[in-house]
Amino acid sequence: MVNIELRRFAPSEAEALADFLSGEVWPFHGAGRVDRADVLRRAAEGYYENDEARTFWIFLESRRAGMVRLFDLGDDTPLFDLRVSEACRGRGVGTQAVRWLTSYVFTELPGVGRIEGTTRRDNAAMRTVFRRCGFVKEGHFRQGWPDADGVLRDAVAYAVLRRDWETGTVTPVEFDDEP
C-alpha cells in the first residue's frame, strides 16, 4: 500500500498551488487547463479555505503528488475535488486519498451523513477509486458534463454513507422502483 500524507493547505502556499494546478493538464475538468492567475485570485478570495471548504496537499515520498479540496462542508452532503499529478497516478494515491478524506469528514463533522463525488462517465480511474472506497453510483446525468470542446458527455455521481463507512457495508441503491 502506498504511503501518503495529507497536509492542510496554508494561504501562504498559494503560489505553490497555482504552480501545481497550472502545471498539469486535467482532462476531466472543464477546459482541462487551469489558469495560474485564476488560482491565485481564488486563493486570495478564500476559495480553498473558508467556513465551508478545506484544502489539503497530498504528499507522496515527501513530494507534492496531489491536492484535494473539500467543499460544501456546511451542508448535509459535502463534495470534493481530487487531483493527482500525472506522474503519480496508478499507484494507489487516489484510493488512499479518498479513504483518508472519507474518514476525515465523518470524524471531523459529526452531522454529515454522506459524502458525494461527481465525475465524467469516461473517467474510469476515478470511478474505480470511488467503488474501491465504498462509494456507490447513485446518479447518471445524460449530457450533463460539457467537455473542453463543448461536447456534452454524461456525468455520474457516487456517494458513501456514514452508516456504511462505520459498519463496513455497502447499501445498494434501489433503482428498480418504478411504480
Q: Does 58 bind ligand COA (CB under 6 A)?
A: no
Q: How many CB atoms neighbour CB 36 within 10 A?
A: 15
Shorter beta-carbon distance to ligand COA: residue 63 or 163: 63
Interacting residues of 39 by C-beta distance below 8 A, sequence separation 6+: 14, 17, 18, 21, 22
Adjacency order of strands within the sheet including 136-146? 4-8, 54-60, 63-71, 79-84, 114-120, 152-161, 136-146
Subset of residues 24 to 43 that bind ligand COA, contact rule: CB under 6 A: 26, 28
Shortest spacing between CB 86 and ligand COA, in angstroms: 8
Q: Which stretch binds ligand COA (CB under 6 A): 14-22, 46-54, 80-88, 149-157?
A: 80-88
Pairing of strands 79-84, 152-161: unpaired
Q: Does 47 bind ligand COA (CB under 6 A)?
A: no
Q: Does 126 bind ligand COA (CB under 6 A)?
A: yes
Q: Does 90 bind ligand COA (CB under 6 A)?
A: yes
Task: Pick the closest to residue 2 from 98, 136, 68 (CA basis).
Answer: 98
Q: List interacting residues with ligand COA (CB under 6 A).
A: 26, 28, 82-84, 89-95, 117, 119, 123-126, 128-129
